[in-house]
């Protein structure tokens, strides 16, 4: 695939990012690309991977490379999960449908966000492939139970519970672009700027905003029955972040969900231990992609201590800063069982829909194969600290 006007053939995640920046209205691109406050946590995630070096080994038989892994008694092609990302249907027409198709073709899991554009039922009606579902601990417990029942009815066996949003971190890019409510963002000048920005992206306007309707949170239409736009949902969504939630709430959820439970948002070994005790089948070491607490440590930097604390009592997944197959190999070497990919697939989706996501996954696969071959390992289970350079 060659970009329109960028004169590059896509080779990596950064190329998809450039295409996404060109094709999306600025407020949507910055929503994907940005982090909270000064974006220190976001940058920490990226630099942590670049500071880990691989140990090259030679003259080993690496003619047969096996990338497969087991998660919850299912074999997947790679130790990679497409993370839940809100508003994906705003990046490409019915975006969640396209991502599920690409993930299913590659035999890797895709997790639908509570605040996705496509609903649980829409994905199920348009695909026979299973997917995971992500849920927040919301104030309206009765509606949470309805969402759980709908996910179960659709065949979801794995629930990802996001626990790092008791309050919402401020994202300066969203304020500037009018995605976060403020007096400045509701001014006439601000509205005109956003209108001109959208009008300057006619391809997106026609393909997504017009042909991709309805652009609403499909999973929340029952909660906000009179909503006709994303702005109509905003008040209800903002009111549902529950600053009073505790581990007892997680216990309540565990008692109401019989499938696999993944707790996402762990950055501390004590919290990891509590998650295991509460019955989590897996945890996601995550700082929400640098979109919540700024100046938080990089997820990769806390991985080894959490691995030691968990001591194989549950699966360990990591997200944040993963931009290549080499990053996945590094995370597995430091003790992760699998990686969650977020921004990278969002860039690819915005760049070229399902085909873009499929191409991205192929790139990651090839990068993993090369990294494993040149570090002398042929199976994911054989990736260990031995391939990390001490220099």
For residue range 102-124, list pLDDT tens digits in order.
999 999 999 999 999 999 999 99
Q: Mean pLDDT score of the chain, rounded to an integer?
A: 94
Q: Which of 350, 299, 311 is CA-nearest to residue 49?
A: 299
CA dihedral 250, 32, 121, 263 (to 10 degrees): -20
CA gap 4, 93 in Å, rounded: 19
What band does 3 get if pLDDT is binned at 50, 70 and 90? very low
Which candidate in 53, 76, 201, 288 is catalytic?
288
Between 3.20.20.70, 3.40.50.40, 3.30.70.890, 3.90.1150.10, what CATH number should domain 13-172+237-387 receive? 3.20.20.70
**Is the backbone peptide bond immediately before 3 cis, with ω within 30 degrees of 0?**
no
Q: Are 227 and 233 in contact (CB under 8 A)?
A: yes
Query: Could you tell me the pTM of the whole model?
Result: 0.95
Strands of 73-202, DSSP E: 74-76, 80-82, 111-112, 132-136, 158-162
Instruction: State the average pLDDT over residues 11-18.
Output: 98
CA gap 220, 240 in Å, rounded: 12
The count of other CB atoms within 10 Å of the CB of residue 246 is 10
**Residue 288 annotated among the catalytic residues of the structure:** yes
The count of other CB atoms within 10 Å of the CB of residue 171 is 22
Instruction: State the average pLDDT over residues 194-213.
Output: 93
For residue range 56-74, list pLDDT tens digits in order.
999 999 999 999 999 999 9
The residue assigned the tokens 């309707």 is 213
For residue range 317-366, list pLDDT tens digits in order.
999 999 999 999 999 999 999 999 999 999 999 999 999 999 999 999 99
Q: How many CA atoms lie within 13 A of 188 on its CB side?
A: 0
CA gap 277, 266 in Å, rounded: 14
């Amino acid at each position: 695939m060659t970009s329109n006007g960028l004169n590059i053939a896509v080779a990596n995640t950064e190329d998809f990012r450039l295409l996404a920046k060109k094709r999306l209205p600025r407020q949507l691109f910055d929503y994907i690309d940005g982090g909270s406050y000064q974006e220190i946590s976001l940058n920490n995630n990226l630099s942590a991977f670049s500071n880990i070096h691989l140990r090259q080994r030679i003259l080993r038989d690496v003619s047969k490379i096996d990338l497969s892994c087991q998660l919850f008694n299912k074999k997947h092609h790679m130790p990679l999960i497409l993370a839940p990302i809100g508003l994906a249907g705003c990046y490409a027409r019915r975006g969640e449908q396209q991502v599920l198709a690409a993930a299913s073709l590659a035999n890797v899991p895709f997790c639908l966000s509570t605040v996705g554009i496509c609903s649980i039922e829409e994905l199920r009606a348009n695909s026979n492939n299973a997917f995971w579902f992500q849920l927040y601990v919301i104030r309206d417990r009765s509606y949470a139970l309805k969402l759980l029942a709908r996910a179960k009815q659709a065949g979801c066996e794995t629930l990802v519970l996001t626990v790092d949003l008791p309050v919402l971190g401020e994202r300066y890019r969203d304020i500037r672009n009018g995605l976060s409510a403020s007096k400045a963002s509701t001014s006439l000048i601000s509205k005109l700027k956003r209108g001109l920005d959208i009008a300057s992206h006619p391809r997106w306007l026609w393909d997504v905003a017009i042909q991709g309707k309805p652009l609403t949170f499909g999973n929340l239409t029952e909660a906000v029955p009179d909503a006709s736009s994303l702005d109509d949902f905003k008040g209800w969504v903002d009111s549902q972040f529950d600053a009073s939630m505790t581990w007892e709430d997680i216990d309540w959820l565990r008692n109401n969900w019989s499938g696999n439970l993944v707790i996402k948002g762990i950055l501390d070994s004590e919290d990891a231990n509590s998650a295991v005790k509460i019955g989590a089948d897996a945890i996601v070491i995550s700082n929400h992609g640098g979109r919540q607490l700024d100046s938080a440590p990089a997820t990769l930097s806390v991985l080894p201590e959490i691995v030691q604390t968990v001591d194989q009592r549950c699966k360990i997944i990591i997200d944040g800063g993963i931009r290549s197959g080499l990053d996945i190999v590094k995370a597995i070497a430091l003790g992760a069982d699998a990686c969650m990919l977020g921004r990278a697939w969002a860039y690819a989706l915005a760049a070229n829909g399902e085909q873009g996501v499929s191409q991205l996954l192929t790139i990651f696969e090839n990068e993993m194969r090369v990294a494993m071959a040149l570090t002398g390992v042929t199976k994911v289970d054989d990736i260990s600290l031995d391939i990390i350079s001490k220099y």
